[in-house]
C-alpha cells in the first residue's frame, strides 16, 4: 500500500479550485511530484498563462510569473536566457492551455521550439476555451459542439483542429514532444513518467521539451466527470493519439 502525501512543491493548505472532475488538478499535482522527485523546486521559475491554467501559482509552491495570453514561451525564453547570461541555470517551464499555446500563442510557442529554447512547455488540451465558458478552440474536434460552434465544428466555417504535439515534434529545436492523457490510473502514471522525461531533457540542456496533456472539461463538455474521461478514452484519442512523437534526449 502506498500512502500519498501532499507534494512539497504544492503550497501548504492549498485546495484545488478547479471544477469537479477537471484534470487540471491532477496535472498540476503530477508537475509538483516531478519537481519534488528531480529536486527542482528551489531552482524553478514557472510561467503561468491566461485561462484556467493561470491559477498555477495559487497551488504550486515555486517562483512563478504570469504571462500575457499566449506569450508564456516567450516569457520563459526571457527568463531562461537572462539567467544564463548571469551564470544562473534556472529550471523554467510553462503551464498553458491549448488556446494559449496553440492558438493565440502559436507563434511564440513554435518559434521557441524552433530556436530550441531549453525550456519545457506543458499544454493542457481540453479542446475548448474553458475559463470563458466553452468556446471553440484550436483543438476542438470535428463535429464538437461548443458555444461558438453550436452546430458542431465543421470544415466550412471552422477548418481543422491542430495536432500540437505532432507539430512541435517537427521542429528541429524540439528534443522531446509527447501527448498523454489522465483518464485512468495507468495513463496518469505514464503521464508522470513523460513529464519527468521532458523535465530531464531540459536539465540535460538538450532543447525544447513539450508535453500535451489531454484533459477533461466536464463543465463545458456538459458531461459528468466519468463521462468526460470516457469521452477522452473512446473519442478524443482517435483525433489525438497518445504517444511520444520525438525523443532525442539521449542522442
Relative to beta strand 243-247, strand 91-97 is unpaired
We find the least distance from the C-beta atom of residue 4 to other proteins, in angstroms, to be 22
Instruction: Return the number of the residue (37 or 111) whose C-beta is nearest other proteins.
Output: 111
Return phi, psi of residue 113, to 5°: -65, -45
Instruction: Return the number of the residue (49 or 220) whose C-beta is nearest other proteins.
Output: 49
Q: What would the grid cell of residue 127 be?
A: 479542446
Closest CA to 221 of 155, 123, 138, 141: 141
We find the least distance from the C-beta atom of residue 68 to other proteins, in angstroms, to be 5
We find the least distance from the C-beta atom of residue 199 to other proteins, in angstroms, to be 15
We find the least distance from the C-beta atom of residue 99 to other proteins, in angstroms, to be 16
Instruction: Return the number of the residue (83 or 141) whose C-beta is nearest other proteins.
Output: 83
- Give the binding site for other proteins (CB under 8 A): 11, 41-45, 47-48, 54, 57, 60-68, 71, 74-79, 81-86, 88, 90-91, 107-108, 111, 115
Instruction: Return the number of the residue (47 or 191) whose C-beta is nearest other proteins.
Output: 47
Query: Can you point out the beta strands (E) in the chain?
Result: 44-48, 63-66, 91-97, 120-125, 128-129, 135-136, 174-181, 208-214, 243-247
Instruction: Return the number of the residue (76 or 217) whose C-beta is nearest other proteins.
Output: 76
**Angle (nearest 5°) at CA 215 between 212 and 220:** 135
We find the least distance from the C-beta atom of residue 156 to other proteins, in angstroms, to be 30
DSSP 140: P
Contact criterion met (CB below 8 Å) for 8 and 61:
yes
Amino acid at each position: 500500500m502506498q500512502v500519498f502525501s501532499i507534494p512539497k512543491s504544492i503550497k501548504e493548505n492549498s485546495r484545488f479550485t478547479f471544477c469537479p472532475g477537471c484534470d487540471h488538478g491532477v496535472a498540476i499535482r503530477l508537475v509538483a511530484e516531478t519537481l519534488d522527485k528531480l529536486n527542482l523546486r528551489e531552482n524553478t521559475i514557472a510561467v503561468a498563462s491566461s485561462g484556467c491554467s493561470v491559477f498555477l501559482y495559487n497551488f504550486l509552491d515555486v517562483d512563478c510569473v504570469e504571462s500575457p495570453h499566449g506569450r508564456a514561451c516567450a516569457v520563459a525564453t526571457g527568463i531562461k536566457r537572462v539567467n544564463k547570461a548571469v551564470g544562473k541555470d534556472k529550471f523554467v517551464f510553462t503551464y498553458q492551455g491549448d488556446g494559449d499555446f496553440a492558438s493565440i500563442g502559436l507563434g511564440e510557442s513554435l518559434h521557441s521550439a524552433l530556436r530550441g529554447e531549453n525550456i519545457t512547455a506543458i499544454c493542457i488540451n481540453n479542446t475548448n476555451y474553458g475559463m470563458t465558458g466553452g468556446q471553440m478552440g484550436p483543438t476542438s474536434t470535428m463535429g464538437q459542439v461548443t458555444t461558438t460552434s453550436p452546430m458542431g465544428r465543421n470544415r466550412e466555417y471552422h477548418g481543422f483542429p491542430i495536432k500540437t504535439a505532432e507539430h512541435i515534434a517537427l521542429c528541429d529545436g524540439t528534443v522531446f514532444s509527447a501527448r498523454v492523457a489522465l483518464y485512468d490510473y495507468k495513463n496518469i502514471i505514464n503521464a508522470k513518467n513523460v513529464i519527468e522525461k521532458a523535465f530531464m531533457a531540459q536539465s540535460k540542456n538538450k532543447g525544447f521539451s513539450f508535453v500535451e496533456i489531454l484533459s477533461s472539461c466536464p463543465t463545458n463538455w456538459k458531461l459528468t466527470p466519468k463521462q468526460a474521461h470516457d469521452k477522452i478514452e473512446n473519442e478524443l484519442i482517435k483525433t489525438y493519439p497518445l504517444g511520444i512523437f520525438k525523443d532525442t534526449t539521449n542522442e
